[in-house]
Structure 1
Amino acid sequence: MKVRILIVEDQMIVRKGLRMIVEQEERYHVVGEAGNGLEAIEIMEKYEIDIILMDIRMPGMNGMETTKIVKQRWPNVKILILTTFNDDEAALETLKDGVNGFLLKTAEPQKLIQAVQSCLDGGLVLHEDVAAKMMPGLLEKKKLEPIHVPLTERELDIAKLVGEGKTNKEIAKHLYLSIGTVKNHITQVLQKIGVRDRTQLAIYAVRNDLV
Protein backbone atom coordinates (compact mmCIF):
# COMPACT_ATOMS: atom_id res chain seq x y z
CA MET A 1 0.00 0.00 0.00
CA LYS A 2 1.26 3.47 -0.84
CA VAL A 3 1.94 6.09 1.82
CA ARG A 4 -0.90 8.63 1.73
CA ILE A 5 0.30 12.22 1.96
CA LEU A 6 -1.54 15.52 2.47
CA ILE A 7 0.27 18.77 1.61
CA VAL A 8 -0.89 21.85 3.52
CA GLU A 9 0.73 25.06 2.24
CA ASP A 10 -0.81 28.36 1.18
CA GLN A 11 1.57 29.00 -1.75
CA MET A 12 0.44 26.96 -4.73
CA ILE A 13 3.86 26.93 -6.40
CA VAL A 14 5.39 25.46 -3.23
CA ARG A 15 2.62 22.84 -2.98
CA LYS A 16 3.20 21.74 -6.55
CA GLY A 17 6.94 21.55 -5.98
CA LEU A 18 6.50 19.41 -2.86
CA ARG A 19 4.09 17.13 -4.70
CA MET A 20 6.52 16.67 -7.56
CA ILE A 21 9.33 15.77 -5.15
CA VAL A 22 7.47 13.22 -3.03
CA GLU A 23 5.69 11.54 -5.94
CA GLN A 24 9.03 10.76 -7.55
CA GLU A 25 9.04 7.97 -4.96
CA GLU A 26 6.70 5.21 -6.13
CA ARG A 27 5.67 4.35 -2.58
CA TYR A 28 4.32 7.87 -1.92
CA HIS A 29 0.96 9.19 -3.11
CA VAL A 30 -0.34 12.73 -2.52
CA VAL A 31 -4.01 12.29 -1.64
CA GLY A 32 -4.74 16.00 -1.50
CA GLU A 33 -3.50 19.58 -1.26
CA ALA A 34 -4.80 22.31 1.04
CA GLY A 35 -4.13 26.04 1.24
CA ASN A 36 -4.80 26.28 4.98
CA GLY A 37 -5.84 24.26 8.01
CA LEU A 38 -9.58 24.52 7.37
CA GLU A 39 -9.18 22.93 3.94
CA ALA A 40 -6.86 20.32 5.45
CA ILE A 41 -9.46 19.22 8.03
CA GLU A 42 -12.07 18.88 5.28
CA ILE A 43 -9.74 16.56 3.35
CA MET A 44 -8.91 14.59 6.51
CA GLU A 45 -12.62 13.95 7.04
CA LYS A 46 -12.91 12.41 3.57
CA TYR A 47 -9.68 10.45 3.13
CA GLU A 48 -7.29 8.37 5.18
CA ILE A 49 -3.94 10.13 5.54
CA ASP A 50 -0.62 8.74 6.83
CA ILE A 51 1.44 11.93 6.99
CA ILE A 52 0.90 15.68 6.55
CA LEU A 53 3.53 18.06 5.18
CA MET A 54 2.47 21.36 6.72
CA ASP A 55 3.45 25.01 6.66
CA ILE A 56 3.27 27.07 9.87
CA ARG A 57 2.00 30.43 8.65
CA MET A 58 -1.22 30.22 6.62
CA PRO A 59 -4.40 32.31 6.37
CA GLY A 60 -7.64 31.12 7.95
CA MET A 61 -6.12 28.42 10.14
CA ASN A 62 -2.37 28.21 10.64
CA GLY A 63 -0.16 25.18 11.16
CA MET A 64 -0.17 25.43 14.95
CA GLU A 65 -3.96 25.43 15.19
CA THR A 66 -4.22 22.65 12.62
CA THR A 67 -1.70 20.50 14.48
CA LYS A 68 -3.77 20.66 17.67
CA ILE A 69 -6.94 19.53 15.88
CA VAL A 70 -5.27 16.79 13.83
CA LYS A 71 -3.47 15.30 16.83
CA GLN A 72 -6.69 15.33 18.87
CA ARG A 73 -8.84 13.74 16.17
CA TRP A 74 -6.30 11.63 14.29
CA PRO A 75 -3.47 10.96 16.79
CA ASN A 76 -1.76 8.36 14.59
CA VAL A 77 -1.30 10.73 11.64
CA LYS A 78 2.29 11.98 11.37
CA ILE A 79 2.97 15.70 10.87
CA LEU A 80 6.14 17.08 9.30
CA ILE A 81 6.34 20.86 9.74
CA LEU A 82 7.90 22.84 6.88
CA THR A 83 9.49 25.90 8.41
CA THR A 84 11.68 28.94 7.78
CA PHE A 85 14.22 30.56 10.07
CA ASN A 86 11.60 33.16 10.96
CA ASP A 87 9.20 30.45 12.16
CA ASP A 88 11.44 28.71 14.69
CA GLU A 89 9.57 29.93 17.79
CA ALA A 90 6.21 29.03 16.30
CA ALA A 91 7.53 25.63 15.22
CA LEU A 92 8.86 24.99 18.72
CA GLU A 93 5.38 25.64 20.09
CA THR A 94 3.98 22.73 18.05
CA LEU A 95 6.35 20.23 19.72
CA LYS A 96 4.10 19.93 22.74
CA ASP A 97 1.17 19.10 20.47
CA GLY A 98 2.96 16.09 19.02
CA VAL A 99 4.47 17.05 15.66
CA ASN A 100 6.90 14.46 14.30
CA GLY A 101 9.49 16.63 12.64
CA PHE A 102 10.70 19.97 11.31
CA LEU A 103 12.34 20.65 7.97
CA LEU A 104 13.49 23.90 6.40
CA LYS A 105 11.78 24.78 3.13
CA THR A 106 15.24 25.34 1.66
CA ALA A 107 16.25 21.71 2.25
CA GLU A 108 17.37 19.50 -0.63
CA PRO A 109 14.67 17.23 -2.14
CA GLN A 110 16.41 14.10 -0.81
CA LYS A 111 16.26 15.57 2.70
CA LEU A 112 12.49 15.83 2.35
CA ILE A 113 12.19 12.19 1.31
CA GLN A 114 14.41 11.10 4.20
CA ALA A 115 12.44 13.23 6.66
CA VAL A 116 9.11 11.79 5.53
CA GLN A 117 10.39 8.23 5.92
CA SER A 118 11.91 8.94 9.32
CA CYS A 119 8.61 10.37 10.59
CA LEU A 120 6.78 7.31 9.30
CA ASP A 121 9.32 5.08 11.07
CA GLY A 122 8.60 6.80 14.37
CA GLY A 123 11.58 9.15 14.56
CA LEU A 124 11.60 12.80 15.62
CA VAL A 125 13.03 14.70 12.66
CA LEU A 126 14.97 17.92 13.26
CA HIS A 127 16.74 19.43 10.27
CA GLU A 128 20.25 20.25 11.55
CA ASP A 129 19.82 23.99 10.97
CA VAL A 130 16.42 23.95 12.69
CA ALA A 131 17.87 21.99 15.62
CA ALA A 132 20.66 24.53 16.01
CA LYS A 133 18.09 27.28 16.50
CA MET A 134 15.46 25.32 18.45
CA MET A 135 17.55 23.34 20.92
CA PRO A 136 18.68 26.40 22.92
CA GLY A 137 15.01 27.23 23.44
CA LEU A 138 14.32 23.72 24.70
CA LEU A 139 17.39 23.71 26.92
CA GLU A 140 16.41 27.06 28.41
CA LYS A 141 13.24 25.48 29.68
CA LYS A 142 15.38 23.35 31.97
CA LYS A 143 15.33 26.32 34.32
CA LEU A 144 11.95 24.94 35.32
CA GLU A 145 12.07 22.48 38.19
CA PRO A 146 12.83 19.10 36.60
CA ILE A 147 10.44 16.21 37.02
CA HIS A 148 12.16 13.14 38.47
CA VAL A 149 10.48 9.83 37.65
CA PRO A 150 12.04 6.48 38.56
CA LEU A 151 13.06 4.80 35.31
CA THR A 152 15.11 1.65 35.00
CA GLU A 153 18.56 1.85 33.43
CA ARG A 154 17.20 0.33 30.22
CA GLU A 155 14.28 2.78 30.15
CA LEU A 156 16.69 5.70 30.64
CA ASP A 157 18.81 4.44 27.72
CA ILE A 158 15.73 4.27 25.51
CA ALA A 159 14.45 7.70 26.62
CA LYS A 160 17.89 9.16 25.79
CA LEU A 161 17.85 7.63 22.29
CA VAL A 162 14.30 8.87 21.66
CA GLY A 163 15.53 12.32 22.71
CA GLU A 164 18.22 12.02 20.04
CA GLY A 165 15.52 11.42 17.43
CA LYS A 166 16.24 7.72 16.88
CA THR A 167 13.58 5.46 15.37
CA ASN A 168 12.48 2.21 17.03
CA LYS A 169 14.55 0.29 14.49
CA GLU A 170 17.67 2.34 15.26
CA ILE A 171 17.15 1.98 19.01
CA ALA A 172 16.68 -1.77 18.66
CA LYS A 173 19.93 -2.06 16.68
CA HIS A 174 21.85 0.14 19.12
CA LEU A 175 20.70 -1.76 22.22
CA TYR A 176 20.56 -5.24 20.62
CA LEU A 177 16.84 -5.57 21.30
CA SER A 178 13.87 -6.54 19.16
CA ILE A 179 11.66 -3.74 17.82
CA GLY A 180 8.75 -5.21 19.80
CA THR A 181 10.76 -4.98 23.03
CA VAL A 182 11.67 -1.37 22.28
CA LYS A 183 8.00 -0.52 21.69
CA ASN A 184 7.04 -2.13 25.00
CA HIS A 185 9.73 -0.20 26.86
CA ILE A 186 8.62 3.09 25.28
CA THR A 187 5.01 2.40 26.28
CA GLN A 188 6.16 1.82 29.87
CA VAL A 189 8.24 5.02 29.89
CA LEU A 190 5.35 7.10 28.50
CA GLN A 191 3.07 5.79 31.23
CA LYS A 192 5.62 6.39 34.00
CA ILE A 193 6.39 10.00 33.11
CA GLY A 194 2.82 10.81 32.08
CA VAL A 195 3.31 11.98 28.51
CA ARG A 196 1.30 11.16 25.40
CA ASP A 197 3.84 10.30 22.71
CA ARG A 198 7.50 10.05 21.76
CA THR A 199 7.70 13.73 20.80
CA GLN A 200 6.82 14.73 24.36
CA LEU A 201 9.23 12.04 25.58
CA ALA A 202 11.98 13.63 23.49
CA ILE A 203 11.27 17.01 25.10
CA TYR A 204 11.33 15.37 28.53
CA ALA A 205 14.72 13.81 27.72
CA VAL A 206 16.16 17.19 26.75
CA ARG A 207 14.75 19.05 29.75
CA ASN A 208 16.05 16.43 32.18
CA ASP A 209 19.61 16.26 30.80
CA LEU A 210 19.24 12.77 29.35
CA VAL A 211 20.53 13.96 25.96
Structure 2
Amino acid sequence: MADVLIADDHPLFRDALQRAVLAALPGAQVYTADSVDALLVLVEGHADADLLLLDLHMPGARGYSALAHIRGQYPGLPIIVVSGHEESQVAHRAIAHGASGYIPKSAPVDQIVRAIHAVLDGDAWLPPQMIGNGSALDPSEEDIAARVASLTPQQFRVLNMIAEGLLNKQIAYDLGVSEATVKAHMTAIMRKLGVSNRTQVALAASHLAVEPAGTPPM
Protein backbone atom coordinates (compact mmCIF):
# COMPACT_ATOMS: atom_id res chain seq x y z
CA MET A 1 0.00 0.00 0.00
CA ALA A 2 1.45 3.35 -1.05
CA ASP A 3 1.87 6.33 1.29
CA VAL A 4 1.41 9.62 -0.56
CA LEU A 5 1.95 13.14 0.83
CA ILE A 6 0.12 16.17 -0.59
CA ALA A 7 1.24 19.71 0.25
CA ASP A 8 -1.06 22.45 -1.03
CA ASP A 9 -2.71 25.36 0.77
CA HIS A 10 -5.88 25.40 -1.37
CA PRO A 11 -8.46 23.00 0.18
CA LEU A 12 -10.37 22.38 -3.05
CA PHE A 13 -7.28 21.56 -5.06
CA ARG A 14 -5.87 19.48 -2.21
CA ASP A 15 -9.06 17.42 -2.26
CA ALA A 16 -8.87 17.12 -6.06
CA LEU A 17 -5.30 15.85 -5.82
CA GLN A 18 -6.33 13.34 -3.17
CA ARG A 19 -9.07 12.00 -5.46
CA ALA A 20 -6.56 11.75 -8.33
CA VAL A 21 -4.11 9.86 -6.11
CA LEU A 22 -6.81 7.38 -5.09
CA ALA A 23 -7.81 6.95 -8.74
CA ALA A 24 -4.19 6.14 -9.57
CA LEU A 25 -3.48 4.11 -6.43
CA PRO A 26 -6.65 2.61 -4.93
CA GLY A 27 -6.13 1.96 -1.23
CA ALA A 28 -3.27 4.46 -0.90
CA GLN A 29 -2.79 6.21 2.43
CA VAL A 30 -2.89 9.96 1.75
CA TYR A 31 -1.55 12.56 4.19
CA THR A 32 -1.94 16.29 3.61
CA ALA A 33 -0.31 19.57 4.65
CA ASP A 34 -1.40 23.15 4.00
CA SER A 35 1.87 24.96 4.76
CA VAL A 36 5.59 24.34 4.67
CA ASP A 37 5.74 24.06 8.47
CA ALA A 38 3.04 21.38 8.35
CA LEU A 39 4.87 19.67 5.48
CA LEU A 40 8.14 19.51 7.39
CA VAL A 41 6.35 17.82 10.30
CA LEU A 42 4.53 15.50 7.89
CA VAL A 43 7.68 14.41 6.09
CA GLU A 44 9.53 13.86 9.36
CA GLY A 45 6.72 11.51 10.40
CA HIS A 46 6.55 9.73 7.03
CA ALA A 47 10.16 9.70 5.86
CA ASP A 48 9.55 6.45 3.97
CA ALA A 49 6.60 7.82 1.95
CA ASP A 50 6.37 6.75 -1.68
CA LEU A 51 5.55 10.14 -3.23
CA LEU A 52 5.13 13.84 -2.46
CA LEU A 53 2.88 16.15 -4.49
CA LEU A 54 4.20 19.64 -3.74
CA ASP A 55 2.71 23.04 -4.56
CA LEU A 56 5.33 25.70 -5.31
CA HIS A 57 3.47 28.45 -3.44
CA MET A 58 2.49 27.82 0.16
CA PRO A 59 2.73 29.73 3.44
CA GLY A 60 6.31 29.40 4.66
CA ALA A 61 8.09 29.20 1.33
CA ARG A 62 8.25 30.78 -2.08
CA GLY A 63 9.28 29.34 -5.38
CA TYR A 64 11.63 26.39 -5.36
CA SER A 65 12.94 26.75 -1.79
CA ALA A 66 10.76 24.00 -0.26
CA LEU A 67 11.56 21.69 -3.18
CA ALA A 68 15.30 22.29 -2.77
CA HIS A 69 15.13 21.74 0.98
CA ILE A 70 13.03 18.56 0.89
CA ARG A 71 15.12 17.19 -1.98
CA GLY A 72 18.28 17.66 0.12
CA GLN A 73 16.82 16.24 3.34
CA TYR A 74 15.00 13.29 1.73
CA PRO A 75 16.82 12.40 -1.50
CA GLY A 76 14.92 9.12 -1.88
CA LEU A 77 11.45 10.72 -1.86
CA PRO A 78 10.05 11.25 -5.39
CA ILE A 79 8.47 14.69 -5.76
CA ILE A 80 5.91 15.87 -8.30
CA VAL A 81 5.54 19.65 -8.34
CA VAL A 82 2.02 20.98 -8.85
CA SER A 83 1.58 24.62 -9.79
CA GLY A 84 -0.65 27.17 -11.42
CA HIS A 85 2.24 28.16 -13.66
CA GLU A 86 1.83 26.96 -17.24
CA GLU A 87 5.25 28.07 -18.52
CA SER A 88 7.63 25.34 -19.70
CA GLN A 89 10.55 27.20 -18.12
CA VAL A 90 8.98 26.89 -14.66
CA ALA A 91 8.49 23.16 -15.16
CA HIS A 92 12.04 22.60 -16.39
CA ARG A 93 13.46 24.57 -13.46
CA ALA A 94 11.49 22.32 -11.11
CA ILE A 95 12.99 19.24 -12.77
CA ALA A 96 16.46 20.80 -12.58
CA HIS A 97 15.91 21.34 -8.84
CA GLY A 98 15.24 17.63 -8.38
CA ALA A 99 11.52 17.15 -9.00
CA SER A 100 10.58 13.92 -10.78
CA GLY A 101 7.54 15.46 -12.44
CA TYR A 102 5.52 18.61 -12.99
CA ILE A 103 1.73 18.95 -13.13
CA PRO A 104 -0.03 22.23 -14.02
CA LYS A 105 -3.13 22.78 -11.90
CA SER A 106 -5.16 22.87 -15.10
CA ALA A 107 -4.26 19.23 -15.87
CA PRO A 108 -7.16 16.76 -16.13
CA VAL A 109 -7.35 13.86 -13.69
CA ASP A 110 -6.21 11.27 -16.23
CA GLN A 111 -3.03 13.27 -16.84
CA ILE A 112 -2.32 13.45 -13.10
CA VAL A 113 -2.86 9.69 -12.87
CA ARG A 114 -0.36 9.11 -15.71
CA ALA A 115 2.16 11.38 -14.01
CA ILE A 116 1.85 9.50 -10.71
CA HIS A 117 2.32 6.10 -12.38
CA ALA A 118 5.30 7.35 -14.43
CA VAL A 119 7.12 8.81 -11.42
CA LEU A 120 6.47 5.75 -9.23
CA ASP A 121 7.90 3.65 -12.08
CA GLY A 122 11.09 5.69 -11.85
CA ASP A 123 10.54 7.95 -14.86
CA ALA A 124 10.47 11.74 -15.09
CA TRP A 125 7.18 13.22 -16.28
CA LEU A 126 6.16 16.47 -17.95
CA PRO A 127 2.92 17.35 -19.74
CA PRO A 128 3.24 16.77 -23.51
CA GLN A 129 3.11 20.51 -24.24
CA MET A 130 6.07 21.13 -21.91
CA ILE A 131 8.40 18.44 -23.24
CA GLY A 132 11.45 19.89 -24.92
CA ASN A 133 14.97 20.96 -24.27
CA GLY A 134 15.21 22.15 -20.69
CA SER A 135 17.73 24.79 -19.78
CA ALA A 136 20.34 24.29 -17.08
CA LEU A 137 20.02 26.25 -13.87
CA ASP A 138 21.94 29.46 -13.50
CA PRO A 139 25.09 28.54 -11.48
CA SER A 140 24.17 31.00 -8.71
CA GLU A 141 20.67 29.47 -8.38
CA GLU A 142 22.13 25.97 -8.35
CA ASP A 143 24.59 26.99 -5.62
CA ILE A 144 21.90 28.58 -3.45
CA ALA A 145 19.65 25.53 -3.86
CA ALA A 146 22.45 23.26 -2.63
CA ARG A 147 23.06 25.53 0.34
CA VAL A 148 19.33 25.67 1.21
CA ALA A 149 19.25 21.87 0.98
CA SER A 150 21.91 21.71 3.71
CA LEU A 151 19.81 23.62 6.26
CA THR A 152 18.09 21.78 9.08
CA PRO A 153 14.27 21.98 9.10
CA GLN A 154 14.34 24.59 11.88
CA GLN A 155 16.98 26.65 10.06
CA PHE A 156 14.80 26.45 6.94
CA ARG A 157 11.83 27.80 8.90
CA VAL A 158 13.96 30.70 10.17
CA LEU A 159 15.25 31.39 6.65
CA ASN A 160 11.71 31.77 5.31
CA MET A 161 10.71 34.02 8.21
CA ILE A 162 13.70 36.24 7.48
CA ALA A 163 12.69 36.35 3.82
CA GLU A 164 9.22 37.49 4.95
CA GLY A 165 10.83 40.37 6.87
CA LEU A 166 10.19 39.14 10.42
CA LEU A 167 12.47 40.37 13.22
CA ASN A 168 14.31 38.03 15.58
CA LYS A 169 11.80 38.78 18.35
CA GLN A 170 8.87 37.84 16.09
CA ILE A 171 10.62 34.67 14.89
CA ALA A 172 11.36 33.63 18.47
CA TYR A 173 7.71 34.16 19.45
CA ASP A 174 6.35 32.25 16.45
CA LEU A 175 8.72 29.31 16.99
CA GLY A 176 8.41 29.31 20.78
CA VAL A 177 12.16 29.67 21.33
CA SER A 178 14.45 32.32 22.80
CA GLU A 179 15.97 35.16 20.80
CA ALA A 180 19.38 33.67 21.60
CA THR A 181 18.30 30.46 19.84
CA VAL A 182 17.15 32.46 16.81
CA LYS A 183 20.51 34.28 16.73
CA ALA A 184 22.29 30.91 16.84
CA HIS A 185 20.18 29.73 13.90
CA MET A 186 20.97 32.98 12.08
CA THR A 187 24.69 32.42 12.53
CA ALA A 188 24.42 28.88 11.17
CA ILE A 189 22.24 29.99 8.25
CA MET A 190 24.65 32.75 7.25
CA ARG A 191 27.56 30.34 7.42
CA LYS A 192 25.79 27.74 5.28
CA LEU A 193 24.62 30.32 2.75
CA GLY A 194 28.01 32.01 2.62
CA VAL A 195 26.66 35.47 3.52
CA SER A 196 27.33 37.95 6.32
CA ASN A 197 24.00 39.65 7.19
CA ARG A 198 20.25 39.12 7.18
CA THR A 199 19.73 41.28 4.08
CA GLN A 200 22.01 38.96 2.14
CA VAL A 201 20.11 35.98 3.58
CA ALA A 202 16.86 37.36 2.14
CA LEU A 203 18.53 38.10 -1.20
CA ALA A 204 19.91 34.56 -1.35
CA ALA A 205 16.43 33.13 -0.76
CA SER A 206 15.06 35.30 -3.59
CA HIS A 207 17.22 33.39 -6.09
CA LEU A 208 14.74 30.50 -5.76
CA ALA A 209 11.65 32.56 -6.56
CA VAL A 210 9.58 31.44 -9.55
CA GLU A 211 8.78 34.95 -10.73
CA PRO A 212 10.53 38.32 -10.41
CA ALA A 213 9.84 40.41 -7.33
CA GLY A 214 6.47 42.13 -7.54
CA THR A 215 4.81 39.38 -9.60
CA PRO A 216 1.94 37.81 -7.65
CA PRO A 217 2.13 34.04 -7.12
CA MET A 218 -0.47 31.74 -8.59
- Pick the TM interval, shorter chain: 0.5 to 0.7
Q: 1:84, CA displacement in angstroms?
A: 2.8
Q: 1:6, CA displacement in angstroms?
A: 0.6
Q: Does 1:138 align with 2:135?
A: yes
Q: TM-score, normalised by structure 1?
A: 0.57
Q: TM-score, normalised by structure 2?
A: 0.56
Q: Does 1:97 align with 2:94?
A: no
How far apart in 2 are the matches of 1:86 and 1:115?
Answer: 16
> 1:125 aligns to what SS in structure 2?
coil
Q: Give 1:41-190 correspondences, 5 Å limit.
A: 41-47=40-46, 48-62=48-62, 64-86=64-86, 88-131=88-131, 135=133, 138=135
How far apart in 2 are the matches of 1:89 and 1:28?
Answer: 35
Please say if residues 54 and 79 of structure 1, whose CA atoms lie closer than 8 Å, have aligned partners that are also in contact.
yes
> 2:6 aligns to what SS in structure 1?
strand
Change (3 A) 1:139 1:32: closer
Unaligned runs of 5+ in 1: 142-211
Percent of aligned pairs with the same residue? 21
Which residue in 1 is equivalent to 2:33?
34
The superposition leaves residues 109-147 of structure 1 with CA deviations (integer Å, 9 ceiling, x where unpaired) of: 111111011001111101012336xx4x52899xxxxxx
Question: Aligned partner of 1:118: which letter?
Answer: A
Which residue in 1 is equivalent to 2:181?
none
How far apart in 1 are the matches of 2:136 and 2:93?
Answer: 14
Unaligned runs of 5+ in 2: 139-218
Q: 1:92, CA displacement in angstroms?
A: 3.1
How far apart in 2 are the matches of 1:88 and 1:57?
Answer: 17
How far apart in 2 are the matches of 1:140 and 1:73?
Answer: 20
User: Which fold has the larger relative contact order, with Cα–Cα distance below 8 Å and residues 6 or more apart in sequence?
Assistant: 2
